[in-house]
Amino acid sequence: MLIGVPKEIKNHEYRIGLTPAGARELVGHGHQVIVQRDGGAQIGLTNEMYEKAGAQIVDTAEEIFRRADMIIKVKEPQPVECAMLREGQILYTYLHLAPDPEQTKALVASGATCIAYETVTDRKGGLPLLAPMSEVAGRMSIQAGAHALEKAQGGSGVLLGGVPGVKPAEVLVIGGGVVGINAARMAMGMNAHVTILDRSLDRLKYLDELYGDRLTTIYSTRDAIEERLPDTDLVIGAVLIPGAAAPKLVSRENLKLMRPGSVLVDVAIDQGGCFETSKATTHQNPTYEVDGIIHYCVANMPGGVARTSTFALTNATLPFAVQLANKGVQAMLDDPHLLEGLNVHRGKVTYAAVARDLGYDYRPAADALRG
């Protein structure tokens, strides 16, 4: 198979979908790899490294999209990329379709086979291709929040850990999954006081067993959230209902409960955000203010630490990339966990939550693949 890796074009996105080591693996399995010139240059992955791994460097994204049987990316295709996809081509990347009707329409129109990293599953019920970036974003959410709390950033001027004689900040993490636990760990490490909310009692039990009285665990309800907002300095939005648009858990009205200069970091923004007042921002302009509350809603947070993130992401995506390259769409029929990643195939929406949220007819993935 001919595998193409374009340079990412989203704002300040320096990750790349395949490392030189990954290219070498695919070439070793008898495949051809083409990589866009300087696609990894910003994170020290040079054209020469890819060439040494057996890949060919090409100059333009147009050539990659025209020639490749499978495109490997990081972020959802931007409109100019969607326009270059074609019937029968495989797209393997993050998609986050439920809150993105424009992209969904474009992928349906392309006829391509579109596999979303974020809905591939594993045997334990986890999301193995989302998890590495959730680890990164969870950890980053605390440093982003701590920075936004500084006065010069519009924040309330609170230091997360306090100092001897002055109490630490209160951090509220809504959603105790991969983002949530990583955020909580970082915040506890900085000596903040941390409360974590989840709807899964099993998850709350696990967190309680792990961290004991260093972490307060509370069952997530609207009441529980509203009760805590007046005393919270930093809220991390970390909920997920796989594939679906995020539930709105903090309303605009709720912002009045908070102290001016308090901060909301909505990590769930890539699924539409879990605060009513969230709208996606970029690394260039990461924050904005609503009713005195600072919002940080960067939809590609891991792009900010692109070198760490590229290695973490491709460690997880490469084994499936090899399967797809070896077997084509049959790889999904052979592996139910990879099959869960199929969101759009030859003009049909094949992921139930996306079809429901955006009003498309749902076609089960295996049926669509078998034609």
Ligand X SMILES: NC(=O)C1=CN([C@@H]2O[C@H](COP(=O)(O)OP(=O)(O)OC[C@H]3O[C@@H](n4cnc5c(N)ncnc54)[C@H](O)[C@@H]3O)[C@@H](O)[C@H]2O)C=CC1
251 is an annotated ligand-binding site residue? no
Which residues in the 126-145 window bind ligand X by CB under 6 A?
A: 127, 130-131, 133-134, 137
What is the closest distance, in whole angstroms, from the C-beta atom of residue 103 to Mg ion in the complex? 7
Partner interacting with residue 197 (select from ligand X, ligand CC(=O)C(=O)O, Mg ion, none; CB below 5-8 Å by kind): ligand X
What is the closest distance, in whole angstroms, from the C-beta atom of residue 365 to Mg ion in the complex? 22
Residues binding Mg ion: number (CB under 5 A): 2
Query: x/- contact string, 25-64, with Mg ion (CB under 5 A)?
Result: ----------------------------------------
What is the closest distance, in whole angstroms, from the C-beta atom of residue 126 to ligand X in the complex? 7
Active site residue 223: no
Mark the segment that binds Mg ion (CB under 5 A) among 51-59, 75-83, 121-129, 131-139: 75-83
Give the integer Cα–Cα distance in Å for 147 and 169.
13
Half-sphere exposure of 173 (CA within 13 A, CB side): 29
Query: x/- contact string, 186-205, with ligand X (CB under 6 A)?
Result: -----------xxxx--x--
- Interacting residue ranges for ligand CC(=O)C(=O)O, rule: CB under 6 A: 75, 94, 130, 133, 270, 300, 302
Among 110, 254, 287, 300, binds ligand X (CB under 6 A): 300
Q: Which helix H or strand E contains 173, and what residues bound it?
A: strand 170-174
> CA 161, 165, 168 angle in degrees (round to 5)?
25
Taking residue 261's Cβ as centre, other Cβ atoms within 10 Å add up to: 20
What is the closest distance, in whole angstroms, from the C-beta atom of residue 278 to ligand X in the complex? 11
Give the integer Cα–Cα distance in Å for 304 and 314.
16
Active site residue 96: yes
298 is an annotated ligand-binding site residue? yes
The DSSP bridge pattern shows strands 348-349 and 342-345 to be: antiparallel
270 is an annotated ligand-binding site residue? yes
Half-sphere exposure of 258 (CA within 13 A, CB side): 28
Contacts of 164 (CB under 8 A, 6+ apart): none
DSSP track, 53-105: TT-EEES-HHHHHHH-SEEE-SSPPPHHHHTT--TT-EEEE----TT-HHHHH
Give which of 194, 186, 174, 155 is closest to 295, Cα–Cα. 155
Give the integer Cα–Cα distance in Å for 217 and 227.
14
φ/ψ of residue 290, rounded to 5: -130, 125
Q: Which of 100, 233, 266, 270 does the annotation list as catalytic?
A: 270
Partner interacting with residue 94 (select from Mg ion, ligand CC(=O)C(=O)O, ligand X, none; CB below 5-8 Å by kind): ligand CC(=O)C(=O)O
Give the integer Cα–Cα distance in Å for 171 and 190.
11
Told to check if 243 binds ligand X by CB under 6 A, we report: no
Partner interacting with residue 176 (select from ligand CC(=O)C(=O)O, Mg ion, ligand X, none; CB below 5-8 Å by kind): ligand X
Q: Which residue is nearest to ligand CC(=O)C(=O)O (CB)?
A: 133
φ/ψ of residue 257, rounded to 5: -75, -20
Binding residues: 15, 75, 134, 198, 203, 220, 239-240, 267-270, 298-301
Catalytic residues: 96, 270
Binding residues for NAD(+): 134, 198, 203, 220, 239-240, 267-270, 298-301
